[in-house]
Chains A and B, each alone.
Chain A
Amino acid sequence: MAGTTIRTYQLKNGLSLVSEAIPEARAAAFQLMTPAGALTEPAETAGGSSVLENICYRGAGSRDARQISDALDELGIQRGGGADLETTTFAGALLADDLDEALSIYADVVRRPTIPPDQLEGARQLALQRLESIKDNPTQQLFIELSRIYFPGPHGRSPLGSRQGIEAITVQSLREDHRRRYVPDGSILGVAGRFDWDRLIETTERLFGDWEGASPPAPAPDSSGREHYKHIQEQSAQEQIGLAWPEVTAEHPDFYASRVAIQVLSGGMGARLFTEVREKRGLVYSVAAFPRTVRGEGLALAYAGTTPERRQECLDVLIGELRRLPEGITEEELARARTGLLSSQVMQGESCSARAAAITRDQFTLGRIRPLDEVRAGIEQVTTDSVHAHLQRFPPADFTIVTLGPEPVEVKQV
């Protein structure tokens, strides 16, 4: 983006401060990301990362739950974040002038939660309720199951946890988990929008400089030995179909070619999946393919929802398009995909929240921020030949499939 400036600063305790100054912005957005996702939570308290994140807002520093909530609202903070597979994030966006004050509240929330015993039951019940709600949300349930069977190990965990795990959580286990996993080492504070860089460094040093602790090692992703098909029986109106297959990571030289290939599949209403599955055959309302990265491994996912009697045709057409991709893409498809990716970059640059999330995620997965010029050059250098070569090396194949609905599908070619 014209005029934005990326700067980083490393604190001695391991916390990385990353930033992107956006001229003309009136807002600032931040993400305080700790590497405390479901991946590294104790197996016997599965769901503990989500409960810990929730209870941090129920008392921290000198404030109780209501005082925290009121203080954040006073500043007009648009709150975000939550516990995820690899990380737990505390995020917000607000008018730029109040950034320092917001960060000082969040420093309490993240570093000094009181974990009040009388708040445990509320946090636990809420976590159990959220777990139960998944059963009335077929698409979300599908993706949780797809991750679970794609990664047989800890990378297959859902941040929502399990009933047994949530019930086993105690105040003691939360305090211990907080001490062990909410640490500066491996944590990232990402800020985008309008701010004074020198002052931001000073504020960060003041609020987080004396934070201590080394992060526990995270296991490497392992999708070997994964299952290839699972059906979940539900009397739903639509059959949900989800697929996952291996893709390259963001460090791989094929990265931009792989993103163009997925864009050709699913980058717009003129892309292949929408055209073949929806426009020509009317098989779905929703069909899409998208990349997902965990640190150390890449994968791609595809989704379609169709009425049960058409489930087999829908799956066959979807897989047919994935398998056809290595035959190559046209120059016109390449041009559209590149324009789409470049245009998304520019438009993302207009939103402080989107940029804060992007730079923080880059720092987490790559250990550095890709400057926008580098991303632009990466996209522009992709050719039909490089996409073709990538797809020869990494053809969409070896699918893991989950269906949810009244009847299973017949899975061929696996």
Chain B
Amino acid sequence: MSIQQQTLANGLTIIGEPKSSAQSMAAGYFVRTGARDESPEVSGVSHFLEHMMFKGTARRSPEDVNREFDEMGAHYNAFTSEENTVYYGAVLPEFQGRLLDLLSDMMRPSLRDEDFNVEKKVILEEIALYQDRPQFTAVDLARHIHYDETPLGFSILGTTRSVGALERDQMRRYFDRRYVPGNMTLTLTGRYDWDAAVPQVDAACAAWGSAAAGRDHPSLHPRSRTHIVTDRRLNRAHLAFAAPGLSAQDPRHRAAGVLAEIIGGSRGSRLYWALIEPGLADTAQLFHDEGDGAGWFGAYLSCDPADAEEVRSRFVKVLEEASHDGIRPDEVSRVTRKIAAGHVIGGETPMGRLTSVGFDWVYRGVVESVDEEADALLAVSAADCGAILDERPFTHLTMVVLGPVGASLEPAGVDKADGTDGAGV
């Protein structure tokens, strides 16, 4: 199961991980662009553009795009993150040629005015939808404050105001700058035909030019801050935290993921025993999000508003104990087995492998097979986790609380003097 890779003359890379025993194949265009590549006045354009990419091309109407996916019985969608936009579909192998034709054509969209205006309403609905999900709002706000006005903290969705004011020509300029072949990777997994795919895609993208796109890496100066939003319409206290983490390129990125799972995985983690088992919180999770050149630890907890201070204090205590006393080898061994098995199970389907393979390449320029990934995980040691903790990542802790709570919670980080602010809704 070796990796296939070819970079076309215009700079587009095609990467593939074949699996001959699969029943389907998956394909996805990975564009190295997202909220962090926006300027504040076009906040939300990456995500809005992702929707517009389904709205037709010189050869296809918006209805054609959706209908053709459905004609193939494809499982398909797209998503936008802080730094990637991905368009993907999974089909039975007989539809490979049609799927690649459609996805490749979509990468050069018409961006018509009338479609732009209708889709803007859909985006505004999506923003409203997330306004009703405090767990999402809290984590997003923690990330935003943690990244301190730099583009790394920009919102993926944008705001009602920024999206409302966005014009089609601004989107077109953003597209021209970011959707260049050198900034895009086509990933194939499952039972695909490499020899048919490469010439087809080469011909399809011949007219795309050959530009490359860069990206800014702002310098970061993390500090602790607390932001409390009193919202009496909410029933629960929603606590979110952010702290500096490791980049996807950092050789220790895997250990950071293991560390986060030990401290705050959904079951059997230290936070689980401290907060879920006694029934003090119904969610208490820590995760590590490795990004391009920078990463962060994030946490989300949900509890009764009356218990918010107790939950905050136990959460901080769990982090402090880990920072001072380190991680035990038996914890590492359990968690690495659990994550490795998860990779194997998740990697059963071509669709399940697609993002692992694609992001491996986008971030690190190498693709690890499921087995290599599992071996590397099992090699992570307690010392590796300890080395990350020795840098005291949780000293700089941003805390956001949403809910029917007063502004009386204790700040979270060690350098607490950085300031507390509050806002009412």
Interface string of B104-131 (1 = CB under 8 A from A): 0000000000000011111111101101
User: Taking A73-B338, A279-B66 as contacts, is the C-beta distance between A129 and B303 under 8 angstroms?
Assistant: yes
Out of A23, A340, A352, name the residue touching B345 (CB < 8 Å). Answer: A352
B128 touches A347 (CB 8 A): no
User: Taking A70-B268, A270-B69 as contacts, is the C-beta distance between A351 and B348 under 8 angstroms?
Assistant: yes
- Partner-contacting stretch, out of B18-26, B163-171, B318-326, B383-391: B18-26
Out of A2, A76, A305, name the residue touching B342 (CB < 8 Å). Answer: A76
Does chain A have a CB within 8 A of B31?
no
Number of chain B interface residues as a range = 35 or more
Task: Mark out the residues of chain A between 223 and 242 whose CB falls within 8 Å of any chain B CB in the assembled complex.
Answer: 234-238
Interface string of B129-153 (1 = CB under 8 A from A): 1011111000000000000000000
Please indicate the chain B residues that have their CB under 8 angstroms from the CB of A343 in the complex. Answer: 24, 72-75, 91-92
Q: Which of A122, A281, A350, A353 has the most CB of B within 10 A?
A: A350
- Partner-contacting stretch, out of B206-214, B245-253, B270-278, B359-367: B270-278
Does chain B have a CB within 8 A of A374?
no
Task: Mark out the residues of chain A between 120 and 142 whose CB falls within 8 Å of any chain B CB in the assembled complex.
Answer: 121-130, 132-133, 135-138
Number of chain A interface residues as a range = 35 or more
B236 touches A124 (CB 8 A): no
Q: What is the interface of chain B mostly: helix, strand, loop, or mixed?
A: helix
Please indicate the chain B residues that have their CB under 8 angstroms from the CB of A281 in the complex. Answer: 118, 121
A283 touches B121 (CB 8 A): yes
For the complex, give the distance between the alpha carbons of A217 and B341 in Å: 39
Please indicate the chain A residues that have their CB under 8 angstroms from the CB of B63 in the complex. Answer: 270, 275, 279
Does chain B have a CB within 8 A of A74?
yes
Please indicate the chain A residues that have their CB under 8 angstroms from the CB of B186 in the complex. Answer: none
The minimal Cβ–Cβ distance linking B284 to chain A, given in whole angstroms, is 11
For the complex, give the distance between the alpha carbons of A253 and B67 in Å: 29
A350 touches B70 (CB 8 A): no
Chain A residue with minimal CB distance to B337?
A: A76
Chain A residue with minimal CB distance to B273?
A: A66
Please indicate the chain A residues that have their CB under 8 angstroms from the CB of B132 in the complex. Answer: 138, 236-238
The minimal Cβ–Cβ distance linking B89 to chain A, given in whole angstroms, is 11
Does chain B have a CB within 8 A of A307?
yes
For the complex, give the distance between the alpha carbons of A236 and B130 in Å: 11
Does chain A have a CB within 8 A of B344?
yes
Please indicate the chain B residues that have their CB under 8 angstroms from the CB of A270 in the complex. Answer: 63, 66-70
The minimal Cβ–Cβ distance linking A307 to chain B, given in whole angstroms, is 5
A346 touches B70 (CB 8 A): no
Please indicate the chain B residues that have their CB under 8 angstroms from the CB of A282 in the complex. Answer: 118-122, 125
- Partner-contacting stretch, out of A7-15, A24-32, A39-47, A384-392: A24-32
Chain A residue with minimal CB distance to B135?
A: A136
For the complex, give the distance between the alpha carbons of A381 and B157 in Å: 44
Chain B residue with minimal CB distance to A70?
A: B334
User: Taking A95-B341, A238-B129, A347-B90 as contacts, is the C-beta distance between A122 and B277 under 8 angstroms?
Assistant: yes
Does chain B have a CB within 8 A of A284?
yes
Does chain A have a CB within 8 A of B280?
yes
Please indicate the chain A residues that have their CB under 8 angstroms from the CB of B280 in the complex. Answer: 125
User: Taking A285-B125, A350-B348, A350-B349 as contacts, is the C-beta distance between A94 and B341 under 8 angstroms?
Assistant: yes
Does chain B have a CB within 8 A of A368?
no
Out of B73, B304, B338, name the residue touching A344 (CB < 8 Å). Answer: B73
A268 touches B69 (CB 8 A): yes
For the complex, give the distance between the alpha carbons of A392 and B234 in Å: 45
Chain A residue with minimal CB distance to B232?
A: A235
Interface string of B311-342 (1 = CB under 8 A from A): 00000000000000000001001110110111
For the complex, give the distance between the alpha carbons of A283 and B422 in Å: 34
Please indicate the chain A residues that have their CB under 8 angstroms from the CB of B123 in the complex. Answer: 285
A339 touches B277 (CB 8 A): no
Out of A235, A269, A341, name the residue touching B233 (CB < 8 Å). Answer: A235
Out of B69, B279, B341, name the residue touching A126 (CB < 8 Å). Answer: B279
For the complex, give the distance between the alpha carbons of A25 and B349 in Å: 10
Please indicate the chain B residues that have their CB under 8 angstroms from the CB of A284 in the complex. Answer: 122, 125
Does chain A have a CB within 8 A of B36?
no
Q: Which of A25, A76, A238, A352 has the most CB of B within 10 A?
A: A76
For the complex, give the distance between the alpha carbons of A352 and B120 in Å: 40
Please indicate the chain B residues that have their CB under 8 angstroms from the CB of A76 in the complex. Answer: 337-338, 340-342
The minimal Cβ–Cβ distance linking A240 to chain B, given in whole angstroms, is 8
B134 touches A136 (CB 8 A): yes
Please indicate the chain A residues that have their CB under 8 angstroms from the CB of B273 in the complex. Answer: 66
Please indicate the chain A residues that have their CB under 8 angstroms from the CB of B72 in the complex. Answer: 339, 343
What are 22 pairs between A and B in contact, CB < 8 Å? Answer: A24-B21, A26-B344, A128-B279, A129-B303, A133-B302, A136-B134, A136-B235, A136-B302, A269-B69, A269-B76, A270-B63, A279-B63, A279-B118, A280-B118, A283-B121, A285-B122, A307-B124, A339-B70, A339-B73, A341-B73, A343-B92, A347-B24
Q: Given A95-B345, A285-B126, A343-B92, output 15 extra A-B contacts at Cβ < 8 Å.
A: A23-B21, A65-B277, A76-B342, A122-B277, A125-B280, A130-B282, A133-B283, A137-B133, A236-B132, A269-B54, A282-B125, A285-B123, A343-B73, A347-B90, A351-B349
